[in-house]
Structures are given as C-alpha cells and as structure tokens.
Amino acid sequence: MSPTDPARTLATQLPDTPPGARITLMGHVHRRRELATVSFLILRDRTGLAQIVFRPEQLPTVGLPGEETVVRIEGTATANAHAPGGIEVTAPEITLLSEPARTPVVELWRPTLDAALPTVLDHAAVTWRHPAQRAKWELAAASLRGFRRTLDAEGFTEIQTPKLVDSVTESGANVFPVDYFGTTAYLAQSPQFFKQQLVGVFERVYETGPVFRAEPHDTVRHLAEYVSLDAELGFIRDHRDVLALLHRVLLGMIESIRTESGDAVARLGLALPAIPDEIPVIHFQDALRRVGAPDDEPDLAPAHERALGEWAQQRYGSDVIAVEGYPMRKRPFYTHPQPDDPRWSNSFDLIFRGLELVTGGQRRHRYSDYVAAIEARGESPDAYASYLSAFAHGMPPHGGFAIGLERWVSRLIEASNIREVTLFPRDLHRLTP
C-alpha cells in the first residue's frame, strides 16, 4: 500500500497483494467492456492499469461509468494469469468520485495516441493522460531529478532568480515587455546575470526554471517559453572544466532515467544516449571544414549540426559532440576570449543527436574587461551598473552552461517537433491552453 495513503492500493502494488485481500483502488476509468456474462473495467492511476471484473448482478443499475470518470473501487484481489501483474479485482463495489466524464476527443485507451499534433495540443489537459504521452514528461521529471542530484552531490546551491527584469538583458533584444506598476519591465531571457553574481556568494549555483525568448521563430525546435537547466561554478581554469561538469551532469540525468523511469523508457522504446568517457571536442574552425562550410561562416546551420552529429556517432560512437571556439562576434559580451587568439571564444555548444542542446563556456571575471567589452559594443557600462557591481568587488574565474529541458527530451525520444514533449507550449501562434 502507498505509504502516503494506507487506505489505497496502487495499480503497481497489485502483483504483491495476497489473493483474497480486500483492497481499495482509485483512479480514472481507462476502458470498459460489458459482455453478456461478465464485464471488465480497466482503471488507470498514476502508476499503471488494473483490471476489475463485474458479474451481471454486480453492475451498477446505470451500467459502468464512461471512460475518464474518476472512481473508487473496493474489491477482492484475485489471482488471474491473464490480468495485468497476475492479479485482478473481483466482487467490486464502485463509487463515482466525479460527475460522469465527457467522452474525450481522442481514445486514451489505445496503445498509441492517434491524433494530429494540433488536436493533442488543443486538448493537452486530457491528452497528457495517455500513458505514452505522460511517459514523455516522466523522462523530463527524471532528468530534472538527475540534474539536481548530480549538482547537489558536487556542492552546488540551488537558486531562484527574478523572471521580471529591467531593460538590461542578456542580448538586449527579443524580450517580452511587461507593464510593471506603470513602468516597463521584461520577462527574463535567462538567469545569466544573476547566476554569475551569485557565484560570488555561493561559488557553485544552479537553477531550473522558465525563460522567455520573443524570437519570431516558427520552427519545430523553438519555443517562446521553455525550461532552462542552468549551472554556474567558480574557480575554473577554462571552459573545459565547464564541459567536464556538463559531462557528469548528462550522465547523472541518464542514470536517473534508467533507474527511475524504466517503464517510460520501455513504453516509448527509448534508446538511451551513448556518451563516452570523454565528450568529443572539435574547434569551430575545424567543424566548418568538416561540414564543408566557408571559413568565414559565423555560425553552424542546422544542417551542419546534423552532419557533425552523424560524424560523432560514426567516429566516436557518441551521441554528443562539443564544438568549442565560436567566434567572439557571435557570443555575448560576457564570454571569455580564447587567450592565444581573441578572435575565438572559450565557449562551446554541445550537439546532441544532431541538434544544439547546450551553450556553455568561461565568462569574463575582471571588471576592467567588462568595461572594455561593453564600450566596444558602443554602450555605456552605467547601464549595467547593478550587474557589474559583483565584478568590481572581486569575482573568481567562472563559467557555466544551460540545457533546454524540452530540447533534451525531444531528442531523447527523437520527436519531430519540440511541442510533442512540452506540457503547454508557447510559441508564435499558441497562448492557450
């Protein structure tokens, strides 16, 4: 029985229930079949499915309740090799815990969710109930636990930073304005500035939370709001220390999925990522040559990322590859330049199965370097006074990274659209449900 609800037996606990025991189940009606001599009700709770058997004289006068109706069933655990887990429930007494449910727009009892993506998204509150659908977010939840567990073990402090900020943002563009008591504020693009400042307090910090990007992208890989897994640590040598931490975090997330979400892995037929003992690394210049791009290309296109992903799999048997040394002109002003050639940065992107998943690197940490970098952009350091205060008062060499949770899960299951794994997506066209 559930340690938090001793009066209730969960579906996954039925196999361990002794035959003859009187038990109570609670959940949704997943499926019903009313035959001439016997009727079956399949109940779904958060752990799985249970089979309940009704003889004609045991049926409610109005028949079995419709699918998705919430019920309580008291009955006797009975051995049946053909039932889920080898135990079914007989001699049942059924009580409705909700009004009879409306018929869902999709048949949730079918093994696969056979509906177009817009239908799934429009009715997300119900379609997420489908076992294969909810398995996707179970992967996300396990990943979050693995992320936290790994960083907790390494002495990180979990933080929460503001999502309402003033006009100073990470990039200065693509932000959502918000009326803030008569003045204009903005939804935060990332916790970057705050997590850097807090390295000066805790040395090692991480955050999981929403970020907002007002980018007019209508693609299968972009969202206007997503969950970012951020980490920042002090007293590093360079970006390779950050990459090494990211490696340990990814392994921790995968292990959490393996050990805590085995049912979701099996239900989705998931092949867990192959990540070697060291993440393969290629310099940006070499990456351009590898994919046949011009030497003056400022960034990698999606096709380049896919090609590098395929090469990493063939060359290293790895589902990930890190591209380091992106041009400084394509990186935020807080990025630390490559010491021996300041055209390039001590930063990296991690490509996971052909898609950019993580951006990370070493940050500047000297106040004078920040002033020079900001002035080189044609801006005044005064606009960044609050942020720069931390550096004026001494900051250690530091760096960090950010993982997009939905992108991670999307590539885990090799979804064709990131919205397939997002609980309630927000994009150019969708603000509801």
Task: Just give the CATH number of 124-421.
Answer: 3.30.930.10
Over range 380-397, report the average pLDDT.
Answer: 95
Instruction: Give yes or no for a contact between 51 and 40, defined as CB atoms under 8 angstroms apart.
Output: yes
Q: What band does 155 get if pLDDT is binned at 50, 70 and 90?
A: very high
Classified by CATH at the fold level, domain 11-96 comes out as OB fold (Dihydrolipoamide Acetyltransferase, E2P) (2.40.50)
Helix/strand/coil for 268: helix
pLDDT of residue 218: 86
Please state, in angstroms and rounded to a whole number, the distance separating the CA atoms of residues 136 and 132: 7
Output Rg (C-alpha) for the chain, integer angstroms: 26
Contact indicator for 206, 230 with CB cutoff of 8 Å: yes
What pLDDT sits at residue 170? 63
Give mean pLDDT, residues 43-50: 96
- The structure tokens listed for 96 are 């409705």
pLDDT, mean of residues 379-393? 94
Task: Indicate the pLDDT class of residue 119, thresholds 50, 70 and 90.
Answer: very high
Every domain of the chain with CATH number 2.40.50.140 lies at 11-96
Answer yes or no: is pLDDT of 172 > 80: no
| Sequence-distant (≥ 6) Cβ neighbours of residue 331 within 8 angstroms | 345, 347, 361
The distance in angstroms from the start CA to the end CA of the chain is 35
pLDDT in tens, 304-343: 999 999 999 999 999 999 999 999 999 999 999 999 999 9
Kind and range of the H or E run holding 254: helix 239-260
Taking the complete model, does pTM exceed 0.75, yes or no?
A: yes
Q: List every span in the chain annotated with CATH 3.30.930.10.
A: 124-421
Q: Per-residue pLDDT averaged across 103-124, rounded?
A: 95
